[in-house]
Amino acid sequence: DAGVTQSPTHLIKTRGQQVTLRCSPKSGHDTVSWYQQALGQGPQFIFQYYEEEERQRGNFPDRFSGHQFPNYSSELNVNALLLGDSALYLCASSLVPSGRAETQYFGPGTRLLVL
Amino acid sequence: GDSVTQMEGPVTLSEEAFLTINCTYTATGYPSLFWYVQYPGEGLQLLLKATKADDKGSNKGFEATYRKETTSFHLEKGSVQVSDSAVYFCALSLNTGFQKLVFGTGTRLLVSP
């Protein structure tokens, strides 16, 4: 059973560029969440997708956008990159929200470096 | 807002020592509580969870009890191994609708032989 996969594993961009990160959820999961983990910090929630719609959003600017496809995979797009966007980007998948805390399963992350 | 506070690290122990990593939380509702572990260069792995007060989560010798009266979820292990060296994150999630995890800043554990 494949777990959560993310691509690419590493990425180097320059300020002002745009980047797209990809995530495939664990088999059977239909909800995808994205987190940003700065060096030495805990992950911060960016947003969550279910049924191809953004359902919740954290405290991130509109430069951060996403998409979910009919096969439940997801993309995270970041425009106009800033040095401060350098971080590990984690994707997590879970089952449809049921009102109880569904366990989120994390992928290995994409490490983004902005120069 | 909802938040999680963890003890500062690193925590440095010798193999077979007893481990405690403190975690307290602030939440508007009744959250579920989690411990995740991150090994070097990897993503997060769920270690254990508890969904209501007085629940005890346990896995791989690690335990944590959901204490509503003290808003705490401290992680313990009776005898640590070198392979337990990692960063441990305490997190909460509110049990309503679409859920997001709110993480603490993490505690690095270093176990020496």
Q: Which of A42, A90, A108 sits opposite B104 (nearest CB)?
A: A42
Q: Which residues of B touch A60 (CB under 8 A)?
A: none
Q: Which residues of A touch B32 (CB under 8 A)?
A: 100-101
Q: Which of A44, A45, A108 sits opposite B42 (nearest CB)?
A: A108
Rounded to 5 degrees, what angle do the CA atoms A37, A41, A45 make? 45
Q: Is the pLDDT of residue A2 over 90?
A: no
* CA atoms of A93 and B73, how far apart (whole Å): 24
- Paired tokens of B103: 């993480």
Q: Are A32 and A91 in contact (CB under 8 A)?
A: yes
Q: Which of B44, B89, B99 sits opposite A102 (nearest CB)?
A: B99
Cβ within 8 Å, pair B101-A104: yes
Q: Is the pLDDT of residue A20 over 90?
A: yes
pLDDT along chain B (113 residues), means of 10: 90 97 91 93 90 94 96 97 96 79 95 96
- Paired tokens of B77: 């292990």
Instruction: Report pLDDT digits (tens) over A43-101.
Output: 999 999 999 999 989 999 999 999 999 999 999 999 999 999 999 999 999 987 665 66
How many Å lie between the alpha carbon of B45 and the closest alpha carbon of chain A?
A: 7
Cβ within 8 Å, pair B43-A103: no
Cβ within 8 Å, pair B49-A99: no
The per-residue pLDDT for B63 is: 98
State the count of interchain CB pairs (< 8 A) between A and B: 71
Whether A3 has its CB under 8 Å from any CB of chain B: the answer is no
Stronger pLDDT, A68 or A2, i.e. the higher one: A68
* CA atoms of A69 and B54, how far apart (whole Å): 40
Q: Which residues of A touch B43 (CB under 8 A)?
A: 4, 90, 106-109
* CA atoms of B34 and B46, how far apart (whole Å): 7
Q: Which of B45, B89, B99 sits opposite A101 (nearest CB)?
A: B99
Cβ within 8 Å, pair B51-A104: no
How many Å lie between the alpha carbon of A109 and the closest alpha carbon of chain B?
A: 6
* CA atoms of B17 and B84, how far apart (whole Å): 12
What backbone phi and psi angles, to 5 degrees, belong to A74?
A: -145, 155
The per-residue pLDDT for A75 is: 98
